[in-house]
């Protein structure tokens, strides 16, 4: 039994403040280049933006924040940049986990971690264990993550289980194997840095997320910019396949009914 509703099978319960925000933190390199600094200075600065973003999530009551830190395609970058990014990841974990823990934040890391150095893998495990009981905010860092990798690893694990009814596997058989099965699907997807693409982030989970793109570079994305994204989210009409008229006609009672109604049963 999946922990959270699937947006394609059930109409999810929606709220004014998104429960789950997923962010592609892009533009660090350009931020640095504009200042004639090495690209790494932008990544360094980007960690500060992560800190501020976590703070805003805590203040606004957002329950899940997922950030794309390193994609499965980012290994294609110059070896020096990859190596500096790995060192920065280690440093950020060492520096930030105590503060996250004090603030009730649970840290989780998703992605194919087997390619990381043993030291980094151990640090990830210990940070996750240390914060495992925290419930105020679940901060997920996607590292060596790819949406296709996620779908494939879920399919491979699902195929080891017994198929559901009629000998066929269903969405509900697959859902528990996805890397983020512990979280509802993102309500709001944000990408900074001006590009308007998914870059192999959460392909399955973004099925019904609201998209928000900004030209601001990640180090420039402050609380005001985040609030602008949240304000935009509040203007959206989330129809999940239905018509506006249906939404207007929804009394709280019928909304609840729609929530429990299976669409594709
Ligand atoms: C995003 O910033 C951070 C990572 C991918 C690690 P970029 O490094 O992609 O910055 P730009 O897009 O080159 O400016
Ligand atoms: C996406 O940014 C990955 C992360 C932010 C970690 P990229 O800068 O790598 O994306 P592309 O290659 O421009 O699509
Ligand atoms: Mg980029």
pLDDT tens digit string along 175-233? 999 999 999 999 999 999 999 999 999 999 999 999 999 999 999 999 999 999 999 99
29 is in an annotated binding site: yes
Report CA-CA distances (Å) from 162 to 54, 157, 166, 202, 256: 40, 11, 11, 26, 32
Within 13 Å of residue 30, how many CA atoms lie on the same side as its CB? 12
The mean per-residue pLDDT over the stretch 41-45 comes to 98
Q: For residue 69, which ligand has an atom nearest its CA? A: 2
**262 alpha carbon to ligand 2 midpoint, in Å?**
36
Q: DSSP character for 74? A: G
CA of 113 to the centre of ligand 2 (A): 18
Band the pLDDT of 264: cuts 50, 70, 90: very low
- In this prediction, residue 162 carries a pLDDT of 87
The residues, ordered by sequence, that sit 6+ positions from 58 with a Cβ below 8 Å of its Cβ are 103, 104, 105, 136, 137
* Catalytic residue from among 26, 150, 173, 187: 26
Q: From the DSSP assignment, how many helices (H) and strands (E) are in the chain?
A: 9, 6
Quick one: CATH architecture of 20-259?
Answer: 3-Layer(aba) Sandwich (3.40)
Average pLDDT, the chain: 93
Please name which ligand lies nearest the alpha carbon of 33.
1
Q: Are strands 210-213 and 188-191 parallel, antiparallel or unpaired?
A: parallel
Q: Which atom of ligand 1 is nearest to the CA of 74?
A: 5
Residue-level pLDDT at 249: 82
Ramachandran class of 145: left when φ > 0, alpha when ψ lies in -120 to 50, beta otherwise: beta
The domain locations on the chain are 20-259
Q: Range with the lowest mean pLDDT among 59-63, 164-168, 175-179? A: 164-168
CB 110 within 8 A of CB 140: yes
Note the pLDDT tens digit of each residue in 101-146: 999 999 999 999 999 999 999 999 999 999 999 999 999 999 999 9
Q: How confident is the model at residue 253 (pLDDT cuts 50, 70, 90)?
A: very low
With bands split at pLDDT 50, 70 and 90, how would you rate the model's confidence at 252?
Answer: low
CA-proximal residue: ligand 2, atom 1 (nearest): 199
Ligand 1 closest atom vs CA 31: 14
265 three-state secondary structure: coil
pTM metric for this prediction: 0.93
Residue 37 Cα to ligand 1 middle (Å): 14
Residue 26 designated active-site: yes
Cβ < 6 Å from ligand 2: which residues?
Answer: 24-26, 68-71, 74, 195, 197, 199
Annotated catalytic residue 166: no
What integer pLDDT is reported at residue 1 of this predicted model?
44
Candidates 32, 42, 83, 145: which one to mutate for ligand 1, based on the most atoms within 8 Å of Cβ?
42
In this predicted structure, the answer to whether residue 86 has a pLDDT above a threshold of 50 is yes
Between residues 120 and 260, the one the model is more confident about: 120
**Which residues does ligand 1 sit against, CB inside 6 Å?**
25-30, 70, 74, 85, 193
């Amino acid at each position: 039994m999946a922990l959270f509703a699937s947006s394609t099978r059930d109409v999810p319960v929606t709220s004014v403040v998104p429960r789950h925000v997923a962010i592609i933190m892009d533009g660090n390199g350009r931020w640095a280049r504009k200042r004639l600094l090495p690209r790494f200075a932008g990544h360094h600065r980007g960690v500060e933006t992560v800190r501020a973003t976590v703070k805003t999530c805590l203040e606004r009551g957002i329950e899940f924040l997922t950030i794309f830190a390193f994609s499965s395609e980012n290994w294609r970058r110059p070896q020096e940049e990859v190596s500096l990014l790995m060192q920065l990841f280690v440093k950020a974990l060492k520096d930030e986990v105590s503060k996250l823990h004090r603030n009730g934040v649970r840290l989780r890391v998703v992605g194919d971690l087997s390619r990381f150095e043993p030291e980094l893998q151990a640090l990830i495990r210990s940070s996750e264990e240390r914060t495992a009981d925290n419930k105020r905010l679940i901060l997920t860092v996607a590292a060596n993550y790819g949406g296709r990798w996620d779908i494939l690893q879920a399919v491979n694990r699902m195929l080891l289980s017994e198929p559901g009814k009629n000998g066929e596997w269903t969405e509900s058989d697959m859902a528990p194997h996805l890397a983020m099965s512990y979280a509802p699907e993102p309500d709001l997807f944000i990408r900074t840095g001006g590009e308007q693409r998914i870059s192999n982030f959460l392909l399955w989970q973004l099925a019904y997320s609201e998209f928000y793109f900004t030209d601001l570079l990640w180090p420039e994305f402050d609380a005001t910019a985040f609030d602008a994204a949240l304000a935009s989210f509040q203007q959206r009409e989330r129809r999940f396949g239905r018509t506006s008229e249906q939404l207007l006609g929804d009394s709280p009672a019928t909304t609840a009914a729609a929530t429990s109604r299976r669409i594709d049963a």
